[in-house]
Chain A
């Protein structure tokens, strides 16, 4: 079975632009979570979606938004990009929303210039 897939793998944007990152979960998994990992740190939780509903939100500004589609894939949108948004954005999927082991995709490396 395919693992979690993310696109694009790399992205370069300039300040003020917006970006959309995409994630497809493992088949059968209904929950998708998004994380931001800045170089040298552990991943920080951004959002969790389950059955197309937001189930959790981390301490990120409103410039960050996400949604989940009927096929359980997900998009993360970031508006008005700042230099500090440069990071590896990780998507993880799990079968349900609570306490399940999460499996990570390879991430999208975003560089904001």
Chain B
């Protein structure tokens, strides 16, 4: 079983729709990061959250870290075709030092 469970695994929506991707765990994380990855390229960092309950916004993207630092969500408002890609959450466990990834959410936004 994955330490970080992402859902949904795949999402296909129309341009202009809203969506939320979830990242859940039974473990506590000292920080959690969201990445976006294009095919054949490395993950590109979108945001890092470190404080329980923290909310960060990046244009149409809103990231939230759960109060207990065990889960996170990514909400995209008015999705655009350019948002298409693989979204990965990754966390550093409390008292750990390695980055653990979820399996990812493939997002496809159709125009």
Chain A residues at the B interface, C-beta cutoff of 8 Å = 4, 33, 35, 41-45, 48, 55-56, 58, 88, 90, 92, 97-99, 101-107, 109
CA distance in complex: A55, B98 (Å): 9
Give the number of residue pairs across the A-B interface with Cβ within 8 Å.
Answer: 58
The interface size of chain B toward A, counting residues with CB under 8 Å, comes to 23
CB-based closest 8 A-B pairs: A42-B101, A104-B42, A56-B98, A98-B97, A106-B42, A107-B42, A45-B98, A104-B43
Q: Hey, which chain B residues are within 8 Å of A43, CB to CB?
A: 43, 88, 90, 101
Known contacts A43-B43, A56-B98, A107-B41: A99-B31 contact under CB 8 Å: yes
Collect the chain A residues with CB atoms within 8 Å of residue B33's CB.
101-102
- B9 to chain A: closest CB distance in Å? 9
| Contact A99:B101 (CB < 8 A) given known A104-B42, A107-B42 | no
